[in-house]
Structure 1
Amino acid sequence: MALTLGPLLIDAGIDPAQALVIRHAFAQEAEESGLTGLHANSTHAEIFEYTRRQSASTRSFPAVPQRLWVVFIKEGGDQARLWSVVENRGEIDNDGIIRTFDTVETEHMADLRSRLVIGWKSPRAWKMNATTAATYPVMGIADAEPVPFPGFDRLVLSYVQLRAVMREHRYASWRTALSSVFGIYLITDTRDGKQYVGKADGEESIRQRWSIYATNGHGGNVELKGLDPSSFRYSLLRVFDPATPTRDINIAESHFKDALDTRRHGLNRN
C-alpha cells in the first residue's frame, strides 16, 4: 500500500480537519493582484512573506482560513516539495486587495522540509483542505543532511527539537556526543521562567536521560508531571567524564540548585 500525506500529517501532530494545504508556483502574479509572485531564487523570507499575504477575495482564499497551513512549492507539473508549516494567528490587515495574516513558522514537519515530495493530483488547484490533500501520494523523501553538533556549551533545545535529536538520522552525531558524558542539565518552562536542575550519572548518560524526557515529557520527575512539555527548553550546565565519581556530580547538582534557587522559586523539591 502506497504511503500518502495523511499519516505524515498526523504523525507531526497536525489534524487534517484543521489544516490547509497550499502549493506555491514560481510565477509572476498579475499586477492588479497586489502580489509580487515567486521565482526560483526567492529566499526563505520572501516565500514566508508571500505566504502571509493573500487575496482579499474570499473566492480565492477562505474567509476564515484554518490555523495551520502546510506549504509546498510546485515541482514539475504534478509534484510538490514541502517548504514549511506555518501557524495562522489571524488576519491583521485588509486593504480590499490583499489580506495580511499574522503567521509564524512552526516545528511541525521540520524534519521533512525540502525533503518530502508528494504527487499533486489537481494541477489547477493551489490550495485545499488537508483532508483532501491527505490522500495525495508520497513520491519520495530525500535523505537528510547531517546537522553538525554545536558543542555542549551551546546546546539549547526546545521540546520539539529534543524529540528530533533523539530520533532523526541527521542528529546521529549529537546522540553520540550526548552518550559520551554525564552531567548537570537545566529545564526551563518558558511560560513562567521556572527552572528544574537535573543530573545524569551512574548508568545513565545525558542521552539516556534526555531520551526519557523526549518520550514522556517529564522523565519521571514528580515536579514536571502535569506540566505541558511543549514549552520546555533544555540546556546543559556542566558535563562530566563518565569516570567522574558520583559524589562530585551530586555536589555540582546541589550547587546549581542553590545558584539558581530552584528549590524555593523553581521546580526542584529537594
Structure 2
Amino acid sequence: MRLPRGLPGRAGQPVSLCGVFQVLGIERETEEHYYYNLVEVPGFADLKERVIFDWGKAAISWHQWLRPEVGKTVLEIQPKPFSQPFTDYLDFTLSFAELTQLVTSQSPRDEWCRMLSATAGVYLILDQSSGKQYIGSASGTEGIWGRWKDYVATRGHGGNVELVKLLAADAQHGRHFQFTVLMTLPKTMTRPEVIKREYLFMKKLGSRAHGLNQKASHEQ
C-alpha cells in the first residue's frame, strides 16, 4: 500500500491500492521475519493508485488481517489519469469527454493544467453533429484552463447563449463538442485586446453568420 499524494488528512490512515496479491506460501523464514511468495491477482490493474481506503489505526503495520466482519472503508475512487501527453498548444483537439476527464484528473502540478493556465488565447468549439463552430476567448489568472473548466462545470455550454440552447434541447449534446486552441496570447494582454482577436476569428470563420456565436445586434 502507498500513502496517496496530496490527499488531505482524514480519520485513520488513508492509503492507495498498489495491487491485489495471493499468498502462495512461505518462501523462507528467519527468527524475526517470514518471507512470503506472492503472485499478483489479475483484474485489478485499472484500480491501482486510484482506490483510496482507510488503513485504520495500525499505521505502522505494513500488513493487517482482512476480516469480513470488519472490512476496510473505501474513502474514494479517484478519476483515471489523462494519458495523452501535452506537446504543443496547436497540436491537439479534445472531445468534451476527454476535456472532462482532463479537468477532473489534473492537479495544478500536472502539465496540461500548467500549460493551459499559463496562456490566454482564442479557442474553437466544433459541434461535430452539425459542423457549426463557436469561437471563444480566455484571459484572466487561469487562462484557457480556467475558461475550459467552466464548460465541464456546466455540462458543455459554459454560459454561451447558443450552446445553452443546444443543451436545453438535449442535455447530453455536449458529447458532440470538440475543443481546440486557435491562438495563444500573453496573459498580460488586456481583455479588450483579447476580445479583438476573438472577433477577428469570428469574422474569418463566419461563426456568427453560420455558426454558434450569437449575432451582433446590427446583424440580426
Scaled to the shorter chain, the TM-score interval is 0.5 to 0.7
Say which SS state the counterpart of residue 223 (structure 1) adopts.
helix
- Alignment correspondent of 2:93: 156
- Alignment correspondent of 1:225: 164
In terms of mean alpha carbon deviation, does 238-247 or 191-200 score higher?
A: 238-247
Pairing 1:97-136 to 2, within 5 Å after superposition:
112=46
- CA–CA distance in 2 between the matches of 1:141 and 1:259? 42
- Alignment correspondent of 2:186: 241
- Alignment correspondent of 1:32: none
Q: Work out whether residues 82 and 102 of structure 2, in 8 Å CA contact, stay in contact via their aligned partners in 1.
A: no
**Can you give the 5+ residue segments of structure 1 that lack an aligned partner in the other structure?**
1-75, 83-111, 118-137
Q: Which has the higher strand share?
A: 1
- Alignment correspondent of 1:263: 208
- TM-fit CA distance, 1:202: 3.8
Identity among equivalent positions (%) equals 32
- TM-fit CA distance, 1:172: 2.0
- TM-fit CA distance, 1:251: 1.7
- CA–CA distance in 1 between the matches of 2:142 and 2:79? 34
- CA–CA distance in 2 between the matches of 1:193 and 1:234? 13
The structure-2 alpha-carbon separation of the partners of 1:193 and 1:114, relative to structure 1 and needing over 3 Å to count, comes to farther
- TM-fit CA distance, 1:80: 1.8
- Alignment correspondent of 1:172: 110
- CA–CA distance in 1 between the matches of 2:79 and 2:142? 34
- CA–CA distance in 1 between the matches of 2:121 and 2:88? 14
CA RMSD of aligned residues (A): 3.2
Counterpart amino acid of residue 253 in structure 1: E
Pairing 1:25-174 to 2, within 5 Å after superposition:
79-81=42-44, 112=46, 144=81, 147-169=84-106, 172-174=110-112
The structure-2 alpha-carbon separation of the partners of 1:196 and 1:142, relative to structure 1 and needing over 3 Å to count, comes to closer
Q: Work out whether residues 139 and 194 of structure 2, in 8 Å CA contact, stay in contact via their aligned partners in 1.
A: yes
In terms of mean alpha carbon deviation, does 220-229 or 186-195 score higher?
A: 220-229
Counterpart amino acid of residue 220 in structure 1: G
Larger-gyration structure (1/2): 2
- TM-fit CA distance, 1:151: 1.1
TM superposition outliers: structure 1 runs of 4+ over 3 Å: 76-79, 112-117, 140-147
Counterpart amino acid of residue 182 in structure 1: A
- Give per-residue Cα distances to partners, 1:178-222, cap 9 Å, x unaligned: 111111000000001000000112455111100010111100111
The structure-2 alpha-carbon separation of the partners of 1:241 and 1:194, relative to structure 1 and needing over 3 Å to count, comes to same
Q: Work out whether residues 155 and 235 of structure 1, in 8 Å CA contact, stay in contact via their aligned partners in 2.
A: yes
- Alignment correspondent of 1:181: 119
The structure-2 alpha-carbon separation of the partners of 1:215 and 1:259, relative to structure 1 and needing over 3 Å to count, comes to same
- TM-score, normalized by length of structure 2? 0.57
